[in-house]
Structure 1
Amino acid sequence: MNLESPTINVSKSPEEVFNFLADVKNFEALMPENISKFEVLSEDTFIFALKGMPEITLKKKELIPPNKIVLGAAGGKIDFSLVGEITQKEDATSDVQLKFNGDFNPMMAMMIKGPITKFIETLANSIPKAI
């Protein structure tokens, strides 16, 4: 299952956006209002939970400054990734898009498609306000 957020324009350079997203503690500022837990476990790993959902642990898997950050599932039964793609538009402006990739059975995919789509849209829309 591959889901994409809308592309969000940010009034910051790709380096500034990349540095913000590369620091896992900054993801707390991007989370939706219904977050029930957020904890930084290490400099590259954090755990969070939304009300009514299981806890999810994300770990930095790949960093390609200043254009790409890949976070992936750290343990658990489900393998997925959250990719942040950053492209420069003008001198101090960037476009950011989040992509979710996961391998789920059709029933699971149908159940989580809506909530995951809303979640990555919330994260993406929060980036310009949080930086």
Structure 2
Amino acid sequence: MKLESPRTEVGKSAQYLFDSLTDIQNFEKLMPESIAKFEVTDADSFIFGLKGMPEIKLRLKEKTAPNHIVLGAASDKLPFTLRAAIEDLGVDKAGIQLFFEGEFNAMMAMMVKGPIQKFIDTLSENMSKL
């Protein structure tokens, strides 16, 4: 299953966005209002839970400054990645788009597609909070 957020323009430099997103603690600022739990477990991973959803642990898997960041599920039970593509648009202006890729059976994909799309859209919309 592949999903993507709309491309969002932010009044920050690409390097600033990259630095902010590679600091795991900043993801708490991007979370939806329905966040029930957010806990940094180490420098490269965090656990979050949304109301009515199971907790998910994400780990920073790849980073290429200043335009590529990949987070992945820390568990192999539900393998997926969340990739951030950052585009430099000039002084204090950058574009960002999030891409979700997961391997789910058809029934699971039907159940999680809507909530995951809403989640990555919210993360993208909240980039200006960094």
- 2:34 partner amino acid: N
Distance 2:64 2:90 in 1: 20
- 1:87 partner amino acid: E
1:7-56 alpha-carbon deviations (Å, 9 max, x no partner)? 00011111000000000000000000111000000000000000110000
- 2:110 partner amino acid: M
Distance 1:79 1:95 in 2: 27
Residue aligning to 1:26: 26
TM value normalised by structure 1: 0.97
Distance 1:123 1:49 in 2: 14
- 1:29 partner amino acid: K
Distance 1:91 1:30 in 2: 23
Residue aligning to 2:40: 40
Distance apart, 1:118 and its partner CA:
0.2
TM value normalised by structure 2: 0.98
Q: Secondary structure at the match of 1:90?
A: coil
Using the aligned pairs only, state the percent identity. 53
Tell me which moved more, 50-59 or 88-97.
88-97
Q: Secondary structure at the match of 1:33?
A: coil
Residue aligning to 2:8: 8
Distance 2:30 2:92 in 1: 21
Distance apart, 1:116 and its partner CA:
0.2
Residue aligning to 1:95: 95
Structure 1 residue runs of 5 or longer lacking an equivalent are: none
- 1:109 partner amino acid: A
Structure 2 residue runs of 5 or longer lacking an equivalent are: none
Residue aligning to 2:77: 77
Residue aligning to 1:114: 114
Distance 1:7 1:21 in 2: 16
Distance apart, 1:76 and its partner CA:
4.8
